[in-house]
């Protein structure tokens, strides 16, 4: 199995992982952006768009703000896209069924991102203490080095999450993919509907709007669903 596609996806993993909380803040860390970018680099932007749309819907209301550390939706999106494309070529499978299967496999593994990011934050907390000591001693040149170390910690956390999703996901798809692809394909329409309904529930549950606006949003989403499922 060629490693080049996975290395390309790893570059997106690091860049988007840093954008998530540590640097940039250009919002390329959102699944709807990170997954299509990964798919474009791997030659299948449509697969990335499909993955990004599904993953984005699930975590619209859970952002890594302050002390909150939700599951790493960025690495789930990047990892699921790499799995769908890479393992699809390796197993000779494809289509929406494989994309759904890759997302379903990557979702629970993405929980590991919370542990890796928590570890990175703990390490960076120690760097803060070192930075305060350096300022007190007048060693201002040490600040740049400590900042770089903090970025490295977040980069390694992103790579670790991506690596676990890729390794475990590849093993699961290799062993169970040929067996599950047919039943997942038969239920693909319902599975896509579930993703959209969950996303709609997340939006309506986290936005404080009037009843009229809620009904409008629900009506618009329902009409969109009917058009999409045709």
Question: 73-100 pLDDT, tens per residue?
Answer: 899 999 999 999 999 888 888 889 999 9
77 sits in which H/E element: helix 73-91
> Rounded to an integer, what distance in angstroms lies between the CA atom of residue 198 and that of residue 17?
25
Task: Tell me the torsion sign for CA atoms 134, 21, 102, 87.
Answer: negative
The tokens for 159 are: 């790579």
If we measure between CA atoms, which residue out of 40, 26, 116 comes closest to residue 78? 40
> Rounded to an integer, what distance in angstroms lies between the CA atom of residue 121 and that of residue 11?
21
pLDDT of the residue at 216: 58
Which residue shows structure tokens 């929406």? 96
pLDDT of the residue at 224: 60
- Cβ-contact 38, 50 below 8 angstroms: no
Low-confidence ranges of the chain (pLDDT < 70): 1-2, 61-70, 200, 202-230
Beta-carbon contacts of residue 218 (< 8 Å; ≥ 6 apart):
200, 204
> Rounded to an integer, what distance in angstroms lies between the CA atom of residue 163 and that of residue 84?
15
Task: Tell me the torsion sign for CA atoms 144, 12, 40, 74.
Answer: negative
127 sits in which H/E element: helix 112-136
The per-residue b/e assignment along 109-128, b for 16 or more CB within 10 angstroms, e otherwise, is bbebbbebbeebbebbeebe
pLDDT of the residue at 191: 83
187 secondary structure, DSSP code: T
Burial, 134: exposed, middle or buried (Cβ in 10 Å; 0-12, 13-18, 19+)? middle
Burial, 148: exposed, middle or buried (Cβ in 10 Å; 0-12, 13-18, 19+)? exposed
pLDDT of the residue at 68: 62
For residue 100, what are the CA distances in angstroms to 32, 81, 226?
15, 10, 20
């Amino acid at each position: 199995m060629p490693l080049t596609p996975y290395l390309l996806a790893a570059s997106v993993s690091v860049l988007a992982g840093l954008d998530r909380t540590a640097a940039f803040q250009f919002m390329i860390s959102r699944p709807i952006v990170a997954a299509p970018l990964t798919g474009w680099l791997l030659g299948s932007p449509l697969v990335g768009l499909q993955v990004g749309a599904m993953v984005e819907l699930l975590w619209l209301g859970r952002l890594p703000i302050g002390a909150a550390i939700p599951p790493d939706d960025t690495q789930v999106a990047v990892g699921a896209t790499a799995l769908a494309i890479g393992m699809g070529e390796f197993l000779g499978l494809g289509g929406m069924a494989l994309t759904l299967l890759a997302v379903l496999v990557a979702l629970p593994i993405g929980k590991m991102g919370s542990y890796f990011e928590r570890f990175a934050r703990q390490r960076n907390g120690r760097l803060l203490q070192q930075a305060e000591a350096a300022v007190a001693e007048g060693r201002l040149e040490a600040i740049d080095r400590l900042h770089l170390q903090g970025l490295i910690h977040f980069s390694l956390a992103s790579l670790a999450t991506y690596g676990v999703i890729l390794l475990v996901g590849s093993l699961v798809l290799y062993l169970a993919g040929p067996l599950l692809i047919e039943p997942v394909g038969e239920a693909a329409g319902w599975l896509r509907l579930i993703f959209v309904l969950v996303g709609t529930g997340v939006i309506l549950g986290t936005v404080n709007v009037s009843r009229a606006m809620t009904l409008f949003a629900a009506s618009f989403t329902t009409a969109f669903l009917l058009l999409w499922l045709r």
